[in-house]
Chains A and B, each alone.
Chain A
Amino acid sequence: MSVGFIGAGQLAHALVKGFTAAGVIATHKIMASSPDTELPTVSGLRKMGVNFTTSNKETANRSDVLFLAVKPHIIPFVLDEIGPDIQDRHLIVSCAAGVTISSIEKKLVQYRPAPRVMRCMTNTPVVVREGATVYAVGTHAEAEDGRLLEQLMASVGFCTEVEEDLIDAVTGLSGSGPAYAFTALDALADGGVKMGLPRRLAIRLGAQALLGAAKMLLDSEQHPGQLKDNVCSPGGATIHALHFLESGGFRSLLINAVEASCIRTRELQSLADQESISPAAIKKTTLDKVLQQPGVAAAGGPKAAVSLFNKSNPGRKRN
């Protein structure tokens, strides 16, 4: 079985690294393509032994399982490009946030009556085989297609099938989640440094604390609230610290973050549906270059701003 990646950025790189570490596929059976050869991930992929090309069509022709690992707004153009090359054997797996299975199938049925499409949402820790992946199967995907994808993705972390309408929420939670964790770890390390620890040690200990806590929770039947109680001795250090977290609205910040990411994902989806980027942009896949095209609207303009504090959700502004 050959695996191809349309797109050779962070996601492709992370997945390849994970798959090869897990030994589920040999690197010479993997091909990746991107028009931009300057990406740092491209040399990373090459070093791992992946076949690299600038031709998306070549990747499609040489693969059985084809991962679409490009930015959401590029997807329509990629589909138009490789559409004619899709065969019955192909399994298309889109990893693009917010891009629906139906929008992909709509494009591909112009070229093929029953394209086998699946959609997955994974995250960067697949690179260390601790990814969190969900997938949904399309109209023409068979049961064993789902099983195959699940096997692949389970080799690099947790993987489960979901209804497609939950994928945006998953994006908000575990797709973006590592970024929340990195931010938290950076700040925890700052706290450690403030209290006298050397930075490297502070980072090491902070990361281990979160890793250990996550493992405890995954292994436990108990509610995280209960596990929190177990750590908080009466009048002790931890409960004092937690009060600070609560005063700062820690919990609501995290809820807001997941919500904002989910909402933004949905916005990106409707932008992709609009196909507002010119076909010329397909040759230049970095967003900056795309935006330099005349008449192209910025994907993150004010109209698309995520707002949680609207009429229906009057949260109190924190000072």
Chain B
Amino acid sequence: MEPSEVKIGFIGAGNMAFGITKGILLSGGVLPRNVTVSAPSSNNLGRFQELGAAVTHSNTEAVAASRLIFLAVKPHLVPAILREVAPHVTREHVVVSVAAGVTIATLEELLPPESVVLRLMPNLPCMVQEGALLFSRGSRAGPGEGALLKTLLGPCGLVEEGPESWIDAHTGLSGSGVAFVYLFAEALADGGVKMGMPSALAQRIAAQTVLGAGRLLRDSGRHPAQLRSDVCTPGGTTIYGLHALELGGLRAAVMGAVEAATERARELGRK
């Protein structure tokens, strides 16, 4: 299927759905009229309409109007939604679930046999087209569907495929990771305030520092340890600051955070 011909549906109109919609429309690869979004209330549908997408309150209508369906509802709603739409899901459909903790096995169980299912874990910055997205193919999803999804989601940020076992780690690292970065940025700003800077300015500078460092890291292709070393002049300010971070056990704390979030994702997936 050529990207521009694909009809895309969203069940759920929350931030994730919006972020992905923005991304795929931004590339120009999908026509707004080919996007249908359904949600029970009108609260969130306005911003989709502004983008030119079609909106509805009927999940089955969204399914019928689309080939590729994003399931973007809260995890506990998934079973009920799938039971509702299953009669309308055909072999031609491609179902992409964005629900955290809902396994491919569960999805395939609730959908008709032979259904094509993929599982996607995006993260919040999809909303500004700087997401980190990992997807995994179900038993009936072939490389073609994987390639389609990758092309479609490209404008949302970094898109990679992996085995389902990586999705929990991705949740811990990048899903929750966004919050870890916010915590770090807040602490950077607090440090600035302690050293005499007004808090609003410190926060803006902290945000820009994280952004700038992130861009250099992503675009340089160099190992973060190398970039770190490059900033550290002998006996200079940075190495003193880094020593304080090491004394504080930052590395272990961060590894522990990713581990804790991943373990929790696994736990939730088992329930």
Per-residue B-contact encoding for A241-258, CB less than 8 Å = 1, 0 else:
001001111011001100
B219 at the binding interface (Cβ < 8 Å): no
Interface flag for A224 (CB, 8 Å): yes
A259 to B256, CA, bound (A): 28
Asked if residues B226 and A246 are in contact (CB atoms below 8 Å), the reply is: no
Determine if A23 is an interface residue (Cβ-Cβ < 8 Å).
Answer: no
Shortest CB–CB separation between residue B81 and chain A, in angstroms? Answer: 33
The interface bits of chain B over 234-249 (1 if a CB of A lies within 8 angstroms of the residue's CB, else 0) are: 0000000001101111
If the complex has contacts A243-B255, A246-B252, are A252 and B246 also in contact, measured as CB distance less than 8 A?
yes
Residue of B nearest to A249 (CB): B249
Contact assessment for B244 and A315 in the assembled complex, using a CB-CB cutoff below 8 Å: yes
A223 to B249, CA, bound (A): 21
CA distance A164 to B229 in the complex (A): 24
The reply on B191 being an interface residue by CB < 8 A is no
Segment 281-319 of A: residues with Cβ below 8 Å from B: 313, 315-316, 318
Contact indicator B225/A226 (Cβ below 8 Å) = yes
CB <8 Å contact, B246 and A224:
no
CA distance A224 to B226 in the complex (A): 9
**At the interface, yes or no: A80 with Cβ under 8 Å from chain B?**
no
Do most interface residues of chain A lie in helix, strand or loop, or is the interface mixed?
A: helix
Give the residues in chain B near A226, CB-CB below 8 Å. Answer: 223, 225-226
Please determine whether A252 and B229 come into contact, CB atoms closer than 8 angstroms: no
Assembled-state Cα–Cα distance A55/B252 (Å)? 56
Known: A243-B252, A247-B252. A252 touches B247 (CB 8 A): yes
Beta-carbon nearest neighbor of A239 in chain B: B255
Q: Which A residues are closer than 8 A to B by beta carbons?
A: 222-226, 229, 243, 246-249, 251-252, 255-256, 259, 313, 315-316, 318
Choose one: B225, B248, B259; the contact of A225 (CB below 8 Å).
Answer: B225
Q: Is the CB of A229 within 8 A of B243?
A: no
Distance from B71 Cβ to chain A, minimum over Cβ atoms (Å): 28
Say if the beta carbon of B204 comes within 8 Å of chain A: no
Inter-subunit contact B223/A247 (CB<8 Å) = no
Complex Cα distance A192/B255, Å? 25
Q: Is the CB of B224 within 8 A of A225?
A: yes
Inter-chain contacts of A223 with B (CB < 8 A) = 223, 225-226, 229
Asked if residues A252 and B255 are in contact (CB atoms below 8 Å), the reply is no
Q: A223-B225, A247-B256 are in contact. List 15 more A-B contacts (CB 8 A).
A: A225-B223, A226-B226, A243-B252, A243-B255, A246-B251, A246-B252, A246-B255, A247-B252, A249-B249, A252-B243, A252-B247, A255-B243, A313-B244, A315-B244, A316-B249
A249 adjacent to B226 (CB under 8 Å): no
